[in-house]
Amino acid sequence: MEQILANGVYLGSQYAMIALGLTLIFALMNVLNFAHGQMYVIGGFVTYTFYGQWGVPFVLALVMSCVTLAILGALIERYLFAPVIKGSAREESTMLLAAGIAFFLDALILIIFGEKQRGVPKIVNGVFNYDFRLIMPYDRILICVLAILSIVAFIGLMQYTKTGRALRALAQDRTAAQLMGVNVDRYSMIGFALGAMLAGLVGGLLVTITGVNLGMGGPTSIKAFMMVMIGGAGVISGAIWGGIILGFMEAIGLAVLSQYGDITYLLIFISLMIFLAVRPQGLMGKPWG
């Protein structure tokens, strides 16, 4: 039981970070970022290159992941999303763009990093063992703590800084924010960069445990969509709840249902559909987002 709970916290903290980036981008620009999983994979590969191959300290490699993705996100927003949002008759056109970017990043990852599964040396050795009821490698605990710290830092940024206030204003009402003197274009870019950066940070953190490979992008995006739907699209607290709930469901499902084969995700999907039929806007979302 303790083991399941610990696994749930561990999975949930990572998932929450992935969902946070996606929901931030959605809240600011009404863009469903299909490329989120690919950004996560790129973050993993950057950390792998710096830490695993060149021997740069892990923390520095993480920072490099964040910087790379932030720049990538800013460029994508500035030169692709912003003009398309302005020029298109229907805002759903951004979905096509997002899907195109997802394909593009996949191709880029394939060419630069190849298709092999990559892993890095452990950052901390040893296993935490509490009476054989709770077994957890130290590096997982460290990653989990780092993830939770990042989430706290992110919430702090959103709540207590000028940038965060501007971003929240933008998410609430774009026109009103503009009228109050928020530089909408600039903060959209910052917000997108921040969302992409979160994806890169999770990728960098997780490469130490699960490794990274090309095929992880798509499934990660789908999981992130699910978390966002559970919590409600465009709501920060919703994304965190969604991540934690999905993490716990997965941990419990894998422990309880393992003898029935691989049906955990099938059940999660079905319960999600039933849940959304009852509460379409998710746990915390505004009706019709």
Residues lying near other proteins in the complex (CB under 8 A) are found at 26, 30, 32, 34, 80, 83-84, 87-90, 92-93, 95-97, 99-101, 103-104, 106-108, 110-111, 218, 222, 225-226, 228-229, 233, 261-263, 265-266, 269-270, 272-274, 276-277, 280-282, 288-289
- In the three-class reduction of DSSP (H, G, I as helix; E, B as strand; rest coil), residue 152 is classed as helix
Closest to other proteins by CB, 58 or 113:
113
Distance from C-alpha of 119 to C-alpha of 230, rounded to nearest angstrom: 31
In the bound complex, what is the minimum distance in angstroms from residue 32's beta carbon to other proteins? Answer: 5
- Mention every residue, 6+ apart, whose C-beta is less than 8 A from residue 31: 25, 81, 85, 94, 95, 98
Closer CB to other proteins, residue 255 or residue 272?
272
**Sequential DSSP letters for 166-183:** HHHHHHH-HHHHHHTT--
Beta carbon nearer to other proteins, 145 or 273: 273
Place of tokens 């050795």: 125
CB–CB of 113/123 below 8 Å?
no
Choose between 97 and 169: whose C-beta lies nearer to other proteins. 97
Nearest distance from residue 240's CB to other proteins, in Å? 18
Q: Closest CB to other proteins among 64 and 230? A: 230
Question: Is residue 163 a contact partner of residue 190, using CB atoms and an 8 Å limit?
Answer: yes
Tell me which DSSP letter residue 254 carries. H
238 closest CA partner among 29, 94, 22, 28: 22
CB of 185 to other proteins, least distance (A): 17
| 204 vs 216: CA distance, rounded Å | 13
Burial class of residue 218 (count of CB atoms within 10 Å of its CB; 0-12, 13-18, 19+) = middle
Q: How far is CA 21 from CA 129, 151, 243, 279, in A?
A: 33, 10, 12, 23
Task: For the CB of residue 141, give the shortest distance to other proteins in the complex, in Å.
Answer: 31
198 Cβ contact list (under 8 Å, min separation 6): 17, 18, 20, 21, 24, 150, 154
Choose between 100 and 156: whose C-beta lies nearer to other proteins.
100
Closer CB to other proteins, residue 71 or residue 270? 270
Q: Minimum distance between the CB of residue 217 and other proteins, rounded to whole angstroms?
A: 11
For the bound state, the minimum distance from the C-beta of residue 235 to other proteins, rounded and expressed in Å, comes to: 13
State in angstroms the smallest separation of the CB of 113 from other proteins.
Answer: 13
